[in-house]
Structures are given as structure tokens and as C-alpha cells.
């Protein structure tokens, strides 16, 4: 079923690899990153600001107002949005030298859940890390090559996780993960063969998961049972992630890939690399902030 939507905005900034959109309701700001040309963006009140980063950023998280936590390849830094100051966060993370951080999200308890992936993107050594503070981190094997798409059910009972390489989305019971009883999760979606693969995702208030089909040129909406119940067709072929925002959480922000060296087809797509905003009928879940234990 084609989803009822309207393209309402496109960013002036063009990213090589846009990712990790995060809506901050406190400031009315949309944040996102460029992985290839390392930067964090902030857009609010028709003004865009770019924060150049010293190293590639994997994902970002809301901290206290005016501050973001950014995951790099193998560690974290704080970004002060007022003065662009970048400060490292000391900590030891349970991951091997062959892994790096990738996509993640903060849960309602203020803990970061973040995927790791093989740096060479060939081996199933990935994990899901739960990090409650710089001194409290646990790893759960995901056996993914390219972990992505972490989001949570509205009641916070389930965690959803994509392996882009395997074209799968799995669902884990969070309590089962924590006590070791749900190590492998349950297959939620096996994407059909073709060009599209599940990348970043977002959850709506009905418990439906919205998944960016990278290479497929669309956002796919799945019911809580894992059925494909809606499709939002896009004017670009490589969406990478999505997030709900604006005051009513009925705007879906979609980050996209813009580097034709990664995907040659992007050279003929004028909106590739931009963030696209769509007015949709569904209402999203609000983005969560880090707990005080992080500060």
C-alpha cells in the first residue's frame, strides 16, 4: 500500500553519506551526520549549522540541552553546540580491534544501544552494545556483518535490529537480552531479493517500524507482526535512515546517500545526499535523551 505523504522540505546541505537523523524537541532542532565528510549538522528556525568533526562519526545521541554525544569508529566524544567544542569521553568498550561502532539509539532509560560491525564488512563478528555510562557497558553478539536500524517498540519491551548485509530485521526482547535468554532474537523481516536492503529505522506510536530501504528508493512500514503494510516512494535510490520530528511527530526526516563513488546511480539524482522531510499520517515516538549517569 502506498503511504499518503507530502515532501515538505529538503536540506540545502548535501552529504556524501547522510545518517543518524535525530529530532530534539527541546530546541526544535534536527541533527544529522555526514559519515564520509565528517560533520554533524543542526537545522532549526530556517538556519543550518555545520560542525566539522575530527574523525568519522557513526551515530549521535541527545544529551542535556545544547549537547550531543557522538559515536566515532571506536569511541565517543561530546559536542557542545554553543561553541563547537569537541571533548573525548574516556571509557572502555567491549569490542575487538576488528569492529567499529555504527548505528544506535537511546532507550527510555537513557542507555545507548549501538551496533558494531566488521571494519572490512566481511565477517559476522558484530554485536549490540548496551552502554548505560562510560563505566557500564555490555555486549550481546548479533552475528551481523553490517548492523543497523536499532529502534524500540512503544512499550520499550522489544529492540529491533537490522543486518543490512543479510537483508534481515530481527526483534529481541530486551529483558531476554539482558538475562541471556534471547541471544538470537526472532526474525522479524527477511527483505526480498533485489536492490533494496534494510538500513536505519524508526518506530511510530502504533508499533509499526519504518525502515529505509537503501538501494530500493523507498521507506517500508512494517506492522508489529512483521507484515509490509505501507511503502513511501522516494525521489532518491539510497535512503539511509529516518526519524520522526516536528512538534506533532508527524514529519518523517529521511537521510540519504549522495556519493556517486559508492553508488554510481546517484550522479543523476539531484536530491541525493540531502535530508528530505515528508508529512505523513502516522505519529512517531519521541527521541530519548541520555541518562544523568552519562554526565
Is residue 45 a known part of a binding site?
Answer: no
How buried is residue 147: exposed, middle or buried, by Cβ count under 10 Å (0-12/13-18/19+)?
A: buried
Distance, in Å, from the CA atom of 52 to the CA atom of 55, rounded to the nearest integer, reads 9
- The dihedral over CA atoms of 35, 38, 42, 47, expressed in degrees to the nearest 10, equals -120
Phi and psi of 246, rounded to 5°?
A: 70, 170
Cell 556483518 maps to which residue? Answer: 145
Q: Which candidate in 24, 107, 118, 199 is catalytic?
A: 199
Would you tell me how many other CB atoms lie within 10 Å of the CB of residue 246?
18
Beta bridge partners, 23, equal 30
287 carries a ligand binding annotation: no
**100 known member of a binding site:** yes
**Torsion angle of alpha carbons 204, 11, 213, 118, nearest 10°?**
-100
Cell 519521541, residue located? 286
Our answer to whether residue 199 is catalytic in this structure is yes
Strand positions, DSSP E, 81-223: 86-89, 99-106, 112-118, 127-133, 136-141, 147-152, 158-163, 168-173, 186-190, 197-203, 209-214, 218-222
The candidate with the shortest Cα–Cα distance to 21, out of 128, 127, 103, is 103
Number of helices (H) and strands (E) in the chain: give both, helices first.
1, 24
Q: Is 102 annotated to bind ligand?
A: yes
Is 19 annotated as ligand-binding? yes
The residues with which 33 forms a beta bridge, in sequence order, are 19, 40
Q: Which are the contacts of 6, defined by CB distance < 8 A and separation ≥ 6?
A: 278, 279
Which residues are tagged catalytic?
Answer: 199
Q: Which residues are known binding-site members for a divalent metal cation? A: 19, 148, 199
Q: Which residues are known binding-site members for substrate? A: 100, 102
Amino acid at each position: 500500500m502506498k503511504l499518503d505523504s507530502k515532501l515538505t522540505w529538503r536540506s540545502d546541505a548535501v552529504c556524501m553519506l547522510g545518517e543518524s537523523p535525530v529530532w530534539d524537541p527541546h530546541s526544535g532542532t534536527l541533527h544529522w551526520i555526514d559519515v564520509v565528510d565528517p560533520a554533524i549538522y543542526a537545522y532549526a528556525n530556517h538556519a543550518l549549522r555545520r560542525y566539522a568533526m575530527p574523525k568519522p562519526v557513526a551515530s549521535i545521541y541527545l544529551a542535556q540541552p545544547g549537547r550531543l554525544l557522538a559515536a566515532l569508529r571506536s569511541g565517543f566524544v561530546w559536542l557542545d553546540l554553543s561553541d563547537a567544542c569537541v571533548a573525548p569521553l574516556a571509557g572502555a568498550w567491549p569490542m575487538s580491534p576488528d569492529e567499529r561502532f555504527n548505528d544506535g539509539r537511546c532507550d527510555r532509560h537513557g542507555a545507548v544501544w549501538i551496533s558494531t560491525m566488521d571494519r572490512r564488512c566481511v565477517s559476522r563478528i558484530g554485536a549490540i552494545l548496551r552502554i548505560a555510562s562510560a563505566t557500564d557497558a555490555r555486549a550481546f553478539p548479533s552475528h551481523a556483518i553490517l548492523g543497523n536500524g536499532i529502534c524500540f517498540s512503544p512499550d520499550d519491551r522489544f529492540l529491533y535490529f537490522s543486518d543490512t548485509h543479510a537483508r534481515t530485521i530481527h526483534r529481541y526482547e530486551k529483558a531476554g537480552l539482558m538475562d541471556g535468554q534471547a541471544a538470537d532474537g526472532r526474525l522479524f523481516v527477511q527483505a526480498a531479493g533485489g536492490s533494496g536492503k534494510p538500513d536505519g529505522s524508526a518506530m511510530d506510536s502504533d508499533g509499526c517500524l519504518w525502515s529505509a530501504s537503501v538501494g530500493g528508493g523507498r521507506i517500508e512500514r512494517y506492522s508489529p507482526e512483521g507484515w509490509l503494510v505501507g511503502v513511501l516512494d522516494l525521489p532518491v535510490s539510497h535512503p539511509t535512515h529516518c526519524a520522526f520530528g516536528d512538534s506533532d511527530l508527524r514529519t518523517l526526516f529521511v537521510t540519504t546517500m549522495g556519493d556517486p563513488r559508492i553508488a554510481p546511480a546517484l550522479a543523476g539524482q539531484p536530491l541525493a545526499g540531502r535530508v528530505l522531510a515528508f508529512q505523513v499520517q502516522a505519529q512517531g515516538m519521541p527521541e530519548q535523551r541520555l541518562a544523568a549517569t552519562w554526565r
